[in-house]
Structure 1
Amino acid sequence: MKPIQTFMFLLLSLVLVACSSIKVDRDFDPGYQYTSLSRYAWLPQADNKGDYDKDSLQDRRIRAAVDHTLAAQGYEQVSPDEADFLIHYFTGSKTRRDETHVTVGMGYHTLPWTMGARTETRVRDYEEGQLTLDIIEPSSRQLIWRGVAKRRLPEKSSPEKRTAFIQEAVQETLKAFPPDSVVN
């Protein structure tokens, strides 16, 4: 591979990795006995104070991704009165600003005999999406685990890409459920 091709390949790889990164934060009750959890249900609508529309395409994608991920981890979906834990989610987005400082060239400046690099600040606004997954103890309705995934939202996307985007966010978020520090 020629040096310029190698450089372009590396640059493209870095851009793709940077664009697809998901930041995940988790919090949990360290005293809870997570090892006893095996069956789950979605928080019933009457108890739900979330911001989602149960008939939306996004809702169906999120629920399918959560159901698939939890099933792959060995959890069984049951009715709410049989569940060891309830799951609930909410979403949001926020406008963020990305600032980059770029050296654009060397040259002479306004004063005679001064030479140096000139830098430019480039500013770009983008939308960052957030998916929050809550695990709730059924009898007390207390939150026992929360995972929050944040990621830059694509400007345009096909239904397949939206589905893949949600699946990746759910998998990354639930990767640490139950918490490792309390599992024997």
Structure 2
Amino acid sequence: MKQIKIILLASIIILLTACAAPGPNVNFDKNPNINISSAKTFAWLKESKALHISAGFNPIVKVRIDKAIEQALENKGYTFVTDTSKADLAVSYTVGSRDKIQIDSYPATFQGGFGWGRGYYGRYGRIGMSTETHVRNYTQGELAIDIYDVKTKQPAWHGWATKKLTKDDKENIEGLIKLIVSSTLANF
């Protein structure tokens, strides 16, 4: 009986964890050979600003990402300049999404009825004999921001964030963009 309670508790915890809408998964890498500590200005690497955008991407969302990156860097004390040759840093980004499938298997839940007699304890069989499988389709979005040292023309920093996109995210796209950009640039 104790094993069944443990299995049920573990299943509930896993289910609640899987259903929660987690924040973005953020990471970064920096070039140890490039010192940008004295940098004060930034510009876009290319006029288009993004290095790559998935086909069919909403151009209004792109403009929002452009503005969010500029604002986040200005909030960190950098000054935006329009001429890349006069900037200390050059910035670009890549954005896209990918449809994914998540498959989870759990031990079969406790089955059976309650009452007096043989069926009182239900049917639980042997542990490991049967499983329940749940299949979920979801979209994972990704934003990667690249910062280059203009003097050396070398990459200085690369940060990226991935997130499962929920219905709430799609309804509040501006808030999502600000969250992703600020989370990604937090380590810069």
TM range (shorter): 0.7 to 0.9
AA matched with 2:31: D
Task: Give the superposition deviation at 1:17.
Answer: 8.8
Task: Give the superposition deviation at 1:16.
Answer: 9.9
Separation in 1 of the partners of 2:81 and 2:96? 28
Aligned twin of 1:88: 92
Q: Identity over the aligned pairs, expressed in percent?
A: 26
Aligned twin of 1:168: 179
Separation in 2 of the partners of 1:62 and 1:106? 50
For the pair shown, the structure with the greater C-alpha radius of gyration is: 2
Task: Give the superposition deviation at 1:52.
Answer: 6.8
Separation in 1 of the partners of 2:105 and 2:154? 46
Aligned twin of 1:115: 125
For 1:126-137, what aligned pairs fall within 5 Å after superposition? Answer: 126-137=138-149
Separation in 2 of the partners of 1:114 and 1:162? 45
State yes or no: 1:25 paired with 2:33: no
State yes or no: 1:146 paired with 2:158: yes
Separation in 2 of the partners of 1:140 and 1:168? 31
Task: Give the superposition deviation at 1:169.
Answer: 0.5
Between 46-55 and 69-78, report the one with greater CA deviation: 46-55
Aligned twin of 1:78: 81
Encode CA deviations 1:13-38: one digit per residue, 9 max, x unaligned.
x6699313211121110121121111
AA matched with 1:68: Q
Aligned twin of 1:5: none
SS in 2 for 1:124: strand
Separation in 1 of the partners of 2:27 and 2:39? 21
Separation in 2 of the partners of 1:154 and 1:59? 19
Query: Quick check: 1:52–1:59 contact (8 Å CA) kept in 2?
Result: no
Encode CA deviations 1:73-120: one digit per residue, 9 max, x unaligned.
111101222210010011121222222234332359xxxx98246430
Structure 1: where are the runs of 5+ without partners? 1-10, 178-184
Separation in 2 of the partners of 1:169 and 1:119? 36
Q: 1:51 aligns with which of 50, 53, 66?
A: 53
Separation in 1 of the partners of 2:124 and 2:41? 72
Q: What's the TM-score once normalised by structure 1's chain length?
A: 0.73
Encode CA deviations 1:145-174: one digit per residue, 9 max, x unaligned.
10111001124733xx10111110000100
Aligned twin of 1:99: 103
Separation in 1 of the partners of 2:159 and 2:178? 14
Query: Quick check: 2:36–2:156 contact (8 Å CA) kept in 1?
Result: no
- Flag the 1:174–1:82 CA change in 2: closer, same or farther, 3 A: same
Query: Quick check: 2:24–2:162 contact (8 Å CA) kept in 1?
Result: yes
Count of aligned pairs between the two proteins: 159
Q: What's the TM-score once normalised by structure 2's chain length?
A: 0.72
Query: Quick check: 2:50–2:94 contact (8 Å CA) kept in 1?
Result: no
Structure 2: where are the runs of 5+ without partners? 1-12, 113-117
SS in 2 for 1:106: coil
